[in-house]
Amino acid sequence: MDGRRARRSCLAVPGSSAKMIDKARGLAVDQFFLDLEDAVAPLAKAEARDRIVGALNEGGWDGKVRSVRVNALDTEWTYRDVVTVVEGAGAELDTIILPKVSTPDHVRWLDLTLTQIERAMGLEPGRIGIEPQIEDARGLVEIDAIAAAPRVEALIYGPADFMASVNMRSLVVGHQPPGYDVGDAYHYALFRILTAARAAEVQAIDGPYLQIKDVDGLRAVGGRSAALGFDGKWVLHPAQVDAVNELFSPRQEDYDHAENILDAYEWHTSAAGGKRGAAMLGDEMIDEASRKMALVISGKGRAAGM
């Protein structure tokens, strides 16, 4: 299990579509997930499970994080999703996305189920991570315990379901509800998720932007979660990939500045025999807190291949 994988862009791929699965292989995303939940009709779920097992075993995913989204635990499908996919392709799977998580018990159920399948199949214990989606009011209220549950690598915001859960009066994900003119109606949920993720040392991922042709809208909405500190965002269509990779990579000037801070800090502090806590970079005073901020930006840039 690796909680520091690059996840700037995470592509949603319906598990029922052979064509879209094939197309996904060639896209420059950091992560993809083969969906068994909302993108797949109830009668197509069984066939989609088998198609997903085939696609994972076939490979060709070029270092991307390989995930499957199973159905939520309030359906009759979840256990069979997990058993079929992990028994069939567990060695080729990095994480399971569990939607509509409203209590840490949901994550514990999946952790125990995975442990059993790993033992039965001789898979490496604990390697498959879990990414809970926070999609309703209960999930947000329980978020600290969810973030700290076993195998969690990232918390994912599910804005569409979340908006429905709190009766938000907007039908367009990311757009402000008409009548709410005092700020950003999404700020609380986003910042709550981000804080819980950082406290548990896991990643925070923003969900989808549904207006797939509106790349400016995507940039505006995704730019907000990127600025707050989120690690990545879902993409639904090839047209969204470049914008999201760019939004969640540091700007070149920020990356260069961060590397300069790290170099200057190390040079000054070691030149002083470890006795100096602050240093100068041009006119800027840098100290241990500046070093920490610089490490975040430089880490993201290095993960993005800068």
Near ligand GLV in 129-148, by CB under 6 A: 133, 135
- Segment contacting ligand GLV by CB under 6 A, of 119-127, 153-161, 274-282, 297-305: 153-161
CA–CA gap between residue 33 and residue 250 (Å, rounded): 24
Which partner from the list ligand GLV, Mg ion, none does 208 bind, CB cut-off 5 to 8 Å by kind? ligand GLV
- Segment contacting Mg ion by CB under 5 A, of 56-64, 151-159, 171-179, 252-260: 151-159
Residue 135 Cβ vs ligand GLV, minimum distance, rounded to whole Å:
5
Give whichever of 94 and 161 is closer to Mg ion, judged by the CB atom: 161
Site string for Mg ion, 84-113 (x = CB under 5 A): ------------------------------
Q: Is residue 160 involved in binding ligand GLV (CB under 6 A)?
A: yes
Please report which helix (H) or strand (E) contains residue 30, including its range: none
Near ligand GLV in 86-105, by CB under 6 A: none
Give whichever of 90 and 207 is closer to ligand GLV, judged by the CB atom: 207
CA–CA gap between residue 25 and residue 263 (Å, rounded): 38
Of the residues 129, 132, 139, 158, which one makes contact with ligand GLV according to CB under 6 A: 158
Phi-psi category of 119—alpha, beta or left, where left has phi over 0 and alpha has psi -120 to 50? alpha
SS3 label, residue 214:
coil
Residue 283 Cβ vs ligand GLV, minimum distance, rounded to whole Å:
45
- Segment contacting ligand GLV by CB under 6 A, of 21-29, 152-160, 243-251, 283-291: 152-160
- Taken in order 74, 80, 84, 90, the sign of the CA dihedral is positive
SS3 label, residue 160:
helix
Amino acid identity of 78? Answer: T
Nearest to 102 by CA among 38, 58, 145: 145
Per rule CB under 6 A, count of chain residues that contact ligand GLV = 8
Of the residues 207, 232, 250, 301, which one makes contact with ligand GLV according to CB under 6 A: 207
Residue 284: count of CB within 10 angstroms of its CB: 12
β-pair type (284-286, 129-134): unpaired
Crossing angle of helices 288-303 and 252-271, rounded to 10° = 130
Copy the structure tokens of residue 306: 């800068």
Q: What does the angle CA 13 – CA 238 – CA 89 come to, to the nearest 5 degrees?
A: 30
Q: Is residue 15 involved in binding Mg ion (CB under 5 A)?
A: no
C-beta of residue 128 within 8 angstroms of C-beta of residue 114: yes
Which partner from the list Mg ion, ligand GLV, none does 159 bind, CB cut-off 5 to 8 Å by kind? ligand GLV
Amino acid identity of 147? Answer: A
Q: Is residue 161 involved in binding ligand GLV (CB under 6 A)?
A: yes
Of the residues 161, 189, 247, 286, which one makes contact with Mg ion according to CB under 5 A: 161
Give whichever of 159 and 301 is closer to ligand GLV, judged by the CB atom: 159
Give whichever of 102 and 133 is closer to ligand GLV, judged by the CB atom: 133
Residue 138: count of CB within 10 angstroms of its CB: 15
Contact positions vs ligand GLV (CB under 6 A): 133, 135, 158-161, 207-208
Chain contacts with Mg ion (rule: CB under 5 A): 135, 158, 161
